[in-house]
Structure 1
Amino acid sequence: MFYFFSRRAFGMPKGASRARFTDNLATLTRYGRAEPSGNSYRITRYAGPVAWTRDALSGVSGGQLIYVHGYNTTQKRMFDRQAKIVAGLRAKQFNGAVLSFDWPSRGSPSPAAYKADKEAAKHVARPFIEEGLEVLRRHAPGRPLAVLGHSMGALVTLRGFGEVAAGWKLDEALLVAADVDKVWLDRNAWAGSVMAKRTRRLTNYWHHKDRVLALAQGLNGGALRAGRDGMPPRTAPNHHDVSVEARFEATFPQASKDVSHSFYFDDARFYEDLARVLAGQDVSGAPTRRPGAGGEQELRP
């Protein structure tokens, strides 16, 4: 059973036999849970966030990890990914809750769809914070709170914290294959300075072989992506670059374009490292990492 909050519109698409979540942007946030049903998922919607938070956190004693998906992600694909994250972290003794933020990606690999998804990501950034993270903080005080933004989900995360002023800090911000401008994370740039204040630690997982981000670079006027080229040389002290290139090459030597962008979610070492980060450990000397050639850290092959 997977818990999520969504900014997809809910309605009756043309030709559909029943109402469902669509690829359109909603004007309100809905809270739900999804249960596997054959090759799909059966969704239950909640009237509001109170009962949803209670059910989502029942039976778990640890913190909360919110997964934010990226471009070209259908709702079903998001649930499939959430299932992988749950299984991967459980295998590494993470005993917290893994929730998802579902925003209206078109689920289509084209320049027009990319542009539409990028606009949608900007629109959902504020409600992601105000009607998601702040709801969880209010109804589950004291539990560690972390966000994993994959691909364009990193844009949702950075922009959300840039738009909403609040007097609290996220415990862990995890950017994975981040489809955001590298220069934004300079300590004096908008995202770098915002996240230095709004999170206790930010970890950026990246590698040069990410072929999807190579395409995204072209769609963004040639701007280097943080998920493919790492963060700038000048970053805040609580921001950490982790190259996964050696691990990727050792594990997926003949990977396809899509796998190069998402292999993290099929890799046990990534989950081991992630579980250590979520536990609040100093991971710099952990057995999952080694010093990189450029001074950054990297996952061991």
Structure 2
Amino acid sequence: MDYVFCVRSIKNGAFGDEPGATHFLKVPAGKSPDPAHKIAKSTWFKEVQQIARHGPQDNGPVGDVLIYVHGFNTPQDVMMERHRNLRAGLEAQGYEGAVISFDWPCASTALNYLEDRTDAKMTAIRLVDEGIAAFAAIQRPDCRINVHLMAHSMGSYVVREAFDDADDRPGVAAHSWSVSQVILCGADISAGSLEDGNAKSSSLYRHCVRLTNYFNPFDDVLSLSNVKRVGVAPRAGRVGAPANVPRKAVNVNVGNWYDARKANFGGVKSAPHTFYFYDPDFLRDVLFTLRGDIDRKLIPGRAMGSEGNLVLLP
């Protein structure tokens, strides 16, 4: 079973491309999300918590929940394929927690970029309200669940806007909520928005322990010449974050890593932008990041690059 919380509308008995109510789904193996998969919110959280729990029992169980946030132009079947690849790949490397997905409304065409971006902003806050803050609210002294985020492409925009909007609302800001690791892959946000002191990302940094930005200079989807996108600011998923980022931010250049393995992704659509879900070895680095018990510079397979960024070695 796979666990998804979905904020899409329902039309003619199926999920659509517009914002709707929040649905907590328990999706059978091999299936795409369907309204019939909805279960009670309390049951959903209880089952996810149970899957998340692991570790020694002497000091009480702990656990991990990784929330995957997809990008634009991601149909639900593709979202589930990447969700399952992510979960299976991490488990193969030794991950023992839960992987869930936040399914925000987007269309199945790249030409819908601007509308998807609008829908992303409209529904982003529910990532905090219905997910992160909800997990924080059910924490118990005998079971601490670490919540992590892994956002791809425009999903990084969803995460950034969700944190910013939550801090702007007194009712939410007054409650204690945070995440451990935030992981951005192929982030479709401006590189400059991640710099230290930038108002757009200040809330994101405030509510996480560490932010890791994986970027690929070969990412043609994030090229400035790609007319399906909007704006001209260089994207963090292609050029990395600027040099003046907070100490908790980590830039990891995966360009040489991808280039050495690109022959493995011949059947993957937009591979320079999406290979992250189809490379089990890359997910080993992600697991080290989630565990957080090794300094960023000492994670095996990383080296310091010539421009001050960490580089994932091929």
CA distance in 1, matches of 2:129, 2:43: 18
The amino acid across from 1:229 in the alignment is V
Q: 2: CA distance between counterparts of 1:148 and 1:225? A: 17
- Residue 57 of structure 1: how far off its partner (Å): 2.7
Equivalent pair of 2:164/2:201 in contact (CA under 8 Å): no
CA distance in 2, matches of 1:257, 1:157: 24
Cα distance in 2 for partners of 1:268, 1:289 equals 16
Note closer, same or farther for the CA distance 1:178–1:36 as it changes in structure 2 (3 Å cut): same
Distance 1:9 1:245, change over 3 A: same
- TM-superposed CA distance for 1:252, in Å, is 0.3
TM-score (norm 2): 0.87
> In percent, how many aligned pairs have the same letter?
31
Match of 1:101, SS state, is: strand
Deviation per residue, 1:68-90 (Å, 9 max, x gap): 00010011111111000011100
CA contact (8 A) 2:186 2:238 kept: yes
- Once the two structures are overlaid, the 10-residue window that deviates more, 255-264 or 214-223, is 214-223
Residue matched to 1:16: none
Return the TM-score normalized by structure 1.
Answer: 0.91
- Are 2:26 and 1:33 aligned? yes
1:103 corresponds in structure 2 to 104
* Contact 1:147–1:174 (CA under 8 A) maintained in structure 2: yes
1:85 corresponding residue in structure 2: 86
RMSD over aligned Cα atoms? 1.8
Q: CA deviation at 1:216?
A: 7.8
Does the 8 Å CA contact 1:183/1:232 hold for their aligned counterparts? yes
Contact 2:148 2:290 in 1 (8 A): yes
Counterpart of 2:313, as a letter, is: R
Counterpart position of 1:270: 282
Contact in 1 for aligned 2:133/2:177 (Cα 8 Å): no
Whether the aligned pair in 2 keeps the contact of 1:217 and 1:223 (CA below 8 Å) is: no
| Contact 2:132–2:179, Cα closer than 8 Å, also in 1 | no
2:255 counterpart of 1:245: yes
Q: Is the 8 A contact 1:193 1:236 kept in 2?
A: no
Unaligned runs of 5+ in 1: 13-18
Counterpart of 2:130 in structure 1 is 131
Alpha-carbon distance between aligned partners in 2 of 1:123 and 1:160, rounded to the nearest angstrom: 9
The 8 Å contact of residues 105 and 116 in structure 2, kept in 1 or not, is answered as yes
Q: Which residue of 1 aligns with 2:69?
A: 68
* C-alpha distance after superposition, 1:81-139 (max 9, x if no partner): 100001110011110000000011101122xx011110011001111111121112223
Unaligned runs of at least 5 residues, structure 2: 54-62, 168-172
Query: Helix, strand or coil for the counterpart of 1:171?
Result: strand
Number of matched pairs: 290
- 8 Å CA contact 2:71–2:154 kept in 1: the answer is yes
Q: Aligned with 2:244: secondary structure?
A: coil
